[in-house]
Amino acid sequence: MFLKRLSLIVNLLSLIFIISCTKTEEKPDIVVDIQVSKEGYKPDVIEIPRGKVVLFRITSVDEGIGEDTNQKHYGHCFYIMPPYDVMVENIGKGGTKEVKVKMIYPGHHIFTCPYCSNFFPTKGDIYVK
Ligand SMILES: [Cu+2]
């Protein structure tokens, strides 16, 4: 009884660990370079084999919502929606930021710039197969 309960708790913990762990420090299998501007993301359709570690390098071509780095938000960002829930904020004009993500969730996922996607077509699709 106790062991059963313990294994349930361990399973729950490992599930939580997996959920909070799509961002990774593992060595990347694939590098994906993405440019973002008010015209959107290039590329805006990305296909990735499931389980691979991807290094996303996002470069901002223009000033996005603004160039003032004293503001809380400036430039563009790169947000892969849940279940990935990976956010790279404040990519200023000419700047590049990177994030490593383990692509464990199959299917269609959307990435977007929450700063400016209401005004500009900053939205893209990731297919994990
Ligand atoms: Cu943006």
Give every strand in the sheet of 40-42, ordered side by side.
40-42, 30-37, 53-60, 96-102
Residue 92's nearest CA partner among 49, 59, 122 is 59
Distance from residue 11's CA to the centre of ligand 1 (Å): 38
E-assigned strands of 75-128?
Answer: 76-80, 86-91, 96-102, 107-112, 123-128
Per-residue pLDDT of the chain (129 residues; tens, 9 = 90+): 666 665 655 555 555 454 556 999 999 999 999 999 999 999 999 999 999 999 999 999 999 999 999 999 999 999 999 999 999 999 999 999 999 999 999 999 999 999 999 999 999 999 999
Confidence (pTM):
0.83
| Rounded distance between C-alpha atoms, residue 23 and residue 37, angstroms | 24
| Predicted local confidence at residue 9, as pLDDT | 55
Architecture label for domain 2-128: Sandwich (2.60)
Distance from residue 62's CA to the centre of ligand 1 (Å): 9
Distance from residue 35's CA to the centre of ligand 1 (Å): 11
Distance from residue 55's CA to the centre of ligand 1 (Å): 20
Distance from residue 5's CA to the centre of ligand 1 (Å): 47
**Where are the domains positioned within the chain?**
2-128
| Rounded distance between C-alpha atoms, residue 38 and residue 105, angstroms | 28
